[in-house]
Chains A and B, each alone.
Chain A
C-alpha cells in the first residue's frame, strides 16, 4: 500500500493533443465533473460512514449515553480514565497482543511453507490448491464449531491422535494456557488466502535467478533464503500488515466458543479486545466507554502499522526500484 498513487494516464477525453486550447479546457472541466460524479457514491459514503462516523465516535467517547432516553451527557475524559482503570481492558488487550504475536508469524510461516510446497508441484497442483483453499471457504462460525469438538480434551479427535503417538494431550479449550493456541490453530487451518498471495508472488520470481545460483552451487535452503525470501518480501510485508490488523480484531471464534451466552462466565484467557468492546457497546450499551476503547484500538493498530512500515521498508525489495 505504499505505492498509493501511480501516475495514471489521463482519461479518455484528454488524449487528443491536437485540439484547440479553449475546447480542450472546456472538455477538461467536463471530464473533471464527470469524474466527481462517478466517485460521488464513495464521497457520500466516506463523509457519512467514515469521516462523519469517526468524528461522531470521537464525540461519543467523551460522553455518557443514556439508553433509556437516548441522551448523551458530556463527561470529558472520564471514559478514558475508566478505560485505564478497568482491569478487563488490560486483560483483553494483553490477550489480543499475545494472540497477534503468536498467530501472525505462524500464519506467515505456514502459508509460505504451503505456497512453496504447492509451487514445487507439477501436475495436480490445481487439485491441491483447491483442497488447501476449502477451509478458507468454511464460515468462521462453522470452523469454530468443528474445532470445538475436535479439540475436546477427553474425547476429541486431535487428542486421540496425540495420545496414540504418546504425546501430551492438553485441555485445549479449557486450560487458560491453551485457549489462545487453540484459536491460533483454527486461524492456521484457514490460512490459504495468505497462501494464494504468496503463491502468486512465487510465480513472479524470475527463474533465471535460481538457475544462476544453482550453477554457483547454492542448495535449496540458500536458494530459499537468499532468492525466494528477498524476491517475495513485498508479499510478506503486505500479508504481515493485513494479518496483524485482522489479529487485533479477532472476534468470531472466541465469541462462538466462549462468549455467546450473556449469563454464563467464560475464562479470562478468552477475553479478546473486540469481544470486550462488543459487550460494552451492545450488551451494556456503554457507548461512551466502548467508543473510547475503539479509539485506543485505533491508535494501537496505527502505531503497530507505522512501526511495521518503517521496519518493512528497510528490507522489502520493490521491483520498481531496480
Chain B
C-alpha cells in the first residue's frame, strides 16, 4: 500500500540533522496519507473537534456566565438570556478591579524587565566567556530549578522584612534583578546559536565585551528576550502565593489580580454572608483572563517556541 505512494526510485534527501520544516501546516506526509485515510480520517477529525470543544467550552461559558442572572449562572447554556450587562457595571463599582489590574500590570512589567535584562547578562557570561568554574556554576544554575520554592520562602520573607521593604511591591519582583535559572538557560541556548565570527569581527574592530553584548548580541537576541518577557509577565500575573504573603495584610486596593479573585470568591459566596452572586466572580475572572489572552494573541509564536526550546534541550 505504501509502496505505491512512495516511489522507491526517488529517495528523499535525508538531512544531516533530522530537523523538519517548522510549520505544522506542511502537507500531510506520504506515509500518513496512505495509512490514515477514509474512516480513520473521519474518526480523527471527530476526536479533534471534540477536544476543541472541551478546551473552548469553559472559556466561552465564562463569557456567557459573566452576563447571566444569579439564578442562571450555573446553567450550561452559552447564550445568556436575558443578557445582564449590569453585572459588569456592578462589579466595576463594587470591586477595585482597575486598581488590581493596574497593580498586576505594574508588578508584572517590573518583574519581566528585571529578569529579562539580568538573565541576558548572566546568560551571555556563561555562553561566551571561559573562566574557571564555569561548568560547575552553570550546573548550580540548573540545579536551582529543582529547588522547591517552599525551602527559601520563609528566609526570603525575612530578608524583605529586614530590609524594611515589606508592604512595598519590591518583594514581588526584586529577586528578579539577579536572574532566574530557567531564563538564563533559555537565553544561553540562544547566544550559543549565534555565529562566532561576528564577535571575532567586532573584537578586531576594537569592540569591548560590553559593546559585544549590548550592540551585537542583544539586538540579535530580541526573539528570546521577548520570550523571557512574556513568560515572566505571565508568571507574575498568575502569582497568587507571593501576593498572599506580601500584600494580603494591606488594603483591598493594593491587591493583585489573582488575590482579587480570591477576595471576590469569598465576598460573593453564600457561606461568607454574601448572597452567592457568582456571576460577579465570573466577570472578575474574565477580566483577569483577558489580558493574558491578549498577550497570547500578540506573542503566540514566542510562547510556543519558548516552551518547545525548553523541552528540546532538557
Contact = CB atoms under 8 A, between A and B. Distances in A.
Interface string A131-159: 11111011111110111111010011100
B51 A238 contact: no
B137 interface: yes
B296 A12 contact: no
Interface in A241-294: 242, 245, 248-249, 251-252, 255-256, 260-261, 264, 274, 277-278, 281-282, 287, 290-291, 293-294
A1 B130 contact: no
Interface string B1-31: 0110010000010100011101111111111
A13 B203 contact: yes
Interface stretch (B52-60, B81-89, B91-99, B218-226): B52-60
A176 interface: no
Contact of A11 (B61, B129, B285): B129
B292 A301 contact: no
Nearest to A237: B314
Given A56-B158, A145-B282, A264-B271, A157 B139 contact: no
A38 B153 contact: no
Nearest to A218: B35
A193 B182 CA distance: 15
Contact of A128 (B26, B36, B52, B285): B52
Contacts of A139: 237-238, 257-258, 261, 288-289, 292
B311 A261 contact: no
Interface in B234-264: 234, 237-238, 240-241, 244-245, 257-258, 261-262
A149 B257 CA distance: 20
A211 B262 contact: no
Given A12-B202, A126-B25, A255-B240, A141 B262 contact: yes
A133 B296 contact: yes
Contact of B240 (A124, A251, A302): A251
Question: Which secondary structure characterizes the binding site on chain A?
Answer: helix
B256 to A, nearest CB: 10
Contact of A50 (B20, B152, B202): B152
Interface string A83-124: 000000000000000000000000000000010011111111
A117 B48 contact: yes
B131 A32 contact: yes
A221 to B, nearest CB: 11
B51 A132 contact: yes
A146 B285 contact: yes
A75 interface: no
Nearest to A249: B148
A130 B296 CA distance: 9
A199 B307 CA distance: 10
A312 B203 CA distance: 44
Contact of A204 (B18, B62, B145): B18
Contacts of A245: 146, 148
A317 interface: no
A284 B268 CA distance: 26
Interface string A1-43: 1001100111111111000000000001001111111110111
Interface residues of A, number: 126
Contacts of B281: 145
B31 A214 contact: yes
A9 B196 CA distance: 9
A121 B48 contact: yes
A299 to B, nearest CB: 10
A201 interface: yes
Nearest to B27: A122
B72 to A, nearest CB: 10
Given A128-B48, A238-B311, A196 B304 contact: yes
A78 B237 CA distance: 38
Contact of B179 (A45, A128, A242): A45
A220 interface: yes
B132 interface: yes
Interface in B267-288: 271-272, 278, 281-282, 285-286, 288
Contact of A32 (B29, B129, B159, B303): B129
B124 interface: yes
Contacts of A125: 24-25
Contacts of A150: 58, 61
A145 B31 CA distance: 45
B295 to A, nearest CB: 7
Given A42-B141, A294-B150, 8 more contacts: A11-B130, A32-B129, A32-B131, A196-B304, A210-B31, A235-B312, A242-B314, A281-B157
18 contacts: A9-B196, A10-B130, A46-B141, A48-B159, A49-B156, A53-B156, A57-B151, A119-B24, A126-B24, A206-B14, A206-B18, A207-B29, A215-B6, A234-B314, A239-B311, A298-B148, A298-B150, A298-B151
Interface of B: 2-3, 6, 12, 14, 18-20, 22-32, 34-36, 40, 44, 47-48, 51-52, 54-59, 61-62, 65, 73-76, 118, 121-122, 124-132, 134-135, 137-142, 144-159, 175, 177-179, 184, 192, 196, 199-200, 202-203, 209, 212-213, 234, 237-238, 240-241, 244-245, 257-258, 261-262, 265-266, 271-272, 278, 281-282, 285-286, 288-289, 292-293, 295-296, 300, 303-304, 307-308, 310-312, 314
Interface of A: 1, 4-5, 8-16, 28, 31-39, 41-46, 48-50, 52-54, 56-57, 60, 114, 117-126, 128-135, 137-143, 145-150, 152, 155-157, 160-161, 189, 192-193, 196-201, 203-208, 210-211, 214-215, 220, 234-235, 238-239, 242, 245, 248-249, 251-252, 255-256, 260-261, 264, 274, 277-278, 281-282, 287, 290-291, 293-295, 297-298, 301-302, 305
